[in-house]
Copies of this chain bind each other. A is one copy, B any other.
């Protein structure tokens, strides 16, 4: 069936947060024509009721998604709907169909038709079916998100016809696992929450000055020593005065089996996990484990215990380059993503300036200065990753000095890096901090828990436009999408990460999924209030809206 050939349809491409469909129908005059008369299935006009006898019909290529639908409905319904192989939609059934000719849906889009008789989800690819299932879940009562059988609930889906697909491919969240270690179980839960919001990328920041979180078989001390710091600074570090520390060791890491589990769990939900192995700066934990990687091998450091930018930086000698490439080999083995993030930000060059052997290295390599050395350093990784069929991703500082064509830039300091990169023909993920850093305050400082000392209210996230005005149409195609960052200095536990993430991540989910255009914040907030019921059932610790938010 061709979507474009269907005369009666509602066109929605903003369904990362679904509008209660009754609103959809009533808000769109002609849409009502789509709602057929009540028939024997269901007990009310204009809805399909999922009962125990409803079958899930799917052809072989759609069976895995049908099973996921059965899985996600089972706990709250208290029963598991049967999956039957088949291709023809049937009354009293939910049919999942992969139709490669379904035009205009792309790899991730779907068409969802709900009539009182049947539900049909059609997509060109399994990922589209999966996103359609997320919308279907949102159309059900919020109790569907509970993990045990809910009594006395009619599992009614209002009649709608939805054609829906994303604007951007890269719809990401970054979880930062170093400043405070994030348990594996929290990452798995977060992947579920991300899937519900139709995110496509989980960027895991795995190494930094304060800790190294990924087991590396060849270099076990990276986690044995680098995985643990002795204590942690208390409060903001940039307010002057004597710093106070908590005196409690902190750490943890993911085994390679843990990482395989995370990656597979995410892949099952069409989320690509992009690892970040930070270099050449933010290297203190690695240097603490292997002092020969640093600029002063005779110094025995410990992983850093405070926040900010540490001056310890990898040295640029061959053994260190090889060491890091070894680490990347294991990283690529664990993470099938085409994208491997190597950080590249905030590399203070003081140690490179001060060490004569490194100055000699700069001359030996025919470079002018430390900036060119950083560029050379990144290029070693860029070439290495490219040779292995992967694409390097880095924060916008990697632009300094030229990059391989396949490299991707994350523009965090502002839009400028992204603009320059797109103009230079690089793919770009827009992560400007004043729009996407979810570690900033989301409300009044008097009442909010301590956060990074900047502000990012919900409305600003919702009104963010990922394509900078300065780009022409061709350059704009270089913008892969955007993602929210959850730097965790001031998020001591997972509940706090959720508090900072939601609802801002829900706003960003709409920004990256929905079509360009003026955003109606009030309408978003109205939908968000519905959505909170889902987050409550899921026990996601979201921040409630201020009293002053629109109803």
Seen from chain A, the residues whose Cβ lies within 8 Å of a Cβ on chain B are 67, 80, 143, 146-151, 183-185, 188-189, 248, 255, 257-258, 260-262, 264-265, 268, 449, 492-493, 495, 536-539, 541
Residue of B nearest to A78 (CB): B264
**Cα distance A536–B146 in the bound complex, in angstroms:** 26
Taking CB as reference atom, which chain B residue is nearest A143? Answer: B257
10 residue pairs from A and B, CB less than 8 Å apart: A67-B80, A147-B265, A148-B260, A148-B264, A148-B268, A149-B264, A150-B257, A150-B260, A183-B539, A248-B449
A67-B80, A143-B257 given. 8 additional CB < 8 A pairs? A146-B257, A148-B265, A149-B268, A185-B539, A255-B536, A257-B537, A492-B493, A493-B495
> Whose C-beta in chain B lies nearest to the C-beta of A187?
B539
User: Quick one: closest B residue to A538, CB to CB?
Assistant: B185
Residues of B with C-beta under 8 A to A539: 183-185, 258
Interface centre among A147, A495, A541 (most CB of B within 10 A): A147
| Residues on B with beta carbons closer than 8 Å to the beta carbon of A262 | 148
Do A541 and B183 form a contact, CB below 8 Å, given A264-B148, A493-B493? yes
Cα A258 to Cα B539 with chains together (Å): 9
CB <8 Å contact, A261 and B449: no
How many Å lie between the Cα of A520 and that of B146 in the bound state?
42
A147 to chain B: which residues have CB within 8 Å? Answer: 188, 261, 265
Name the 9 nearest CB pairs between A and B, nearest first: A148-B264, A148-B265, A185-B539, A184-B539, A493-B493, A146-B261, A148-B261, A149-B264, A183-B539
Within the complex, the shortest CB–CB distance from A503 to chain B, in Å, comes to 18
Which residues of the other chain, B, contact A492 by a CB distance below 8 angstroms? 493
Closest Cβ of chain B: how far from A440's Cβ, in Å? 19
The smallest beta-carbon distance between A105 and chain B, in angstroms, is 27
Which residue in chain B gives the minimum CB-CB distance to A450?
Answer: B248
In chain B, what residue has the closest Cβ to A269?
A: B148
Contact partner, A150, options B80, B146, B261, B495, Cβ 8 Å: B261
Chain B residues whose CB sits within 8 angstroms of the CB of A268 once the complex forms: 148-149
The residue in chain B whose Cβ has the minimal distance to the Cβ of A266 is B148
Most buried by B among A248, A261, A493, A537: A261
- Residues of chain B within 8 A of A151, CB atoms compared: 260
Chain B residues positioned under 8 Å from A183 (CB to CB): 495, 539, 541
Q: Give Cα A149 to B80, complex, Å.
A: 20
- Expressed in whole angstroms, the Cα–Cα distance for A38 and B404 within the complex equals 58
Q: CA separation between A235 and B338, bound complex, in Å?
A: 48
Q: How far is the CB of A138 from chain B (nearest CB, A)?
A: 18
Which residue of B is nearest A188, CB measured? B147
Contacts of A541 in B (CB 8 A): 183
How near does chain B come to A235, taking the closest CB pair, in angstroms? Answer: 12
Q: How far, in whole Å, are A495 and B251 apart by their CA atoms in the complex?
A: 13
A227 to chain B, nearest CB (A): 14
Minimum CB–CB distance for A275 against chain B, Å: 16
Complex CA distance for A188 and B538, rounded to whole angstroms: 11
Chain B residues contacting A248 (CB-CB under 8 Å) are 449
CB-nearest residue of chain B relative to A265? B148
How far apart are A154's CB and chain B's nearest CB, in angstroms? 16
- Min CB–CB distance A161 → chain B (angstroms): 31
Closest to A75 in B: B265
Minimum CB–CB distance for A442 against chain B, Å? 16
Q: How far is the CA of A424 from the CA of B539 in the complex (A)?
A: 45
Q: In the bound complex, what is the Cα–Cα distance between A537 and B184 (angstroms)? A: 9
Name the residue in A148, A257, A493 with the highest tally of chain B Cβ atoms < 10 Å from its Cβ. Answer: A148
Q: Report the bound CA distance from A492 to B67 in whole Å.
A: 38
Q: How far is the CB of A108 from chain B (nearest CB, A)?
A: 21
Closest CB in chain B relative to A439 CB, distance in Å: 18
Kindly state the separation between the CA atoms of A105 and B149 in the bound complex, as whole angstroms. Answer: 29
For A146, list chain B residues within 8 Å (CB). Answer: 257, 261
A255 to B533: give the CA distance in the assembly, Å. 12
Cα separation A189 to B80 with both chains bound (whole Å): 21
**Which of A143, A264, A541 lies at the interface centre, i.e. has the most chain B CB atoms within 10 A of its CB?**
A264
In the complex, residue of chain B having the shortest beta-carbon distance to the beta carbon of A267: B148
- When C-beta atoms are compared, the residue in chain B nearest to A248 turns out to be B449
A362→B267 CA distance, assembly (Å): 68
What residue of chain B has the Cβ atom nearest to residue A79's Cβ?
B67
Which residue of chain B is the closest to A146 with respect to CB atoms? B261
Taken together as a complex, chains A and B put the C-alpha atoms of A183 and B185 apart, in Å, by: 14
The distance from the CB of A141 to the nearest CB of chain B, in whole angstroms, is: 11
Least CB distance from A221 to B in Å reads 19
Chain B residues contacting A264 (CB-CB under 8 Å) are 148-149
Q: How far is the CA of A80 from the CA of B80 in the complex (A)?
A: 12
Task: Across the interface, name the chain B residue whose C-beta is closest to A181.
Answer: B495
Question: Measured between C-beta atoms, what is the minimum distance from A136 to chain B in Å?
Answer: 20
Q: Which residues of B contact A189 (CB under 8 A)?
A: 185
Separation of A282 and B248 alpha carbons in the complex (Å): 32
C-alpha spacing A255/B188, complex, angstroms: 25
Min CB gap A482→B, angstroms? 27
Expressed in whole angstroms, the Cα–Cα distance for A492 and B496 within the complex equals 13
Q: Which of A146, A150, A538 has the most CB of B within 10 A?
A: A146
| Complex interface: chain B residues within 8 A of A149 (CB) | 264, 268
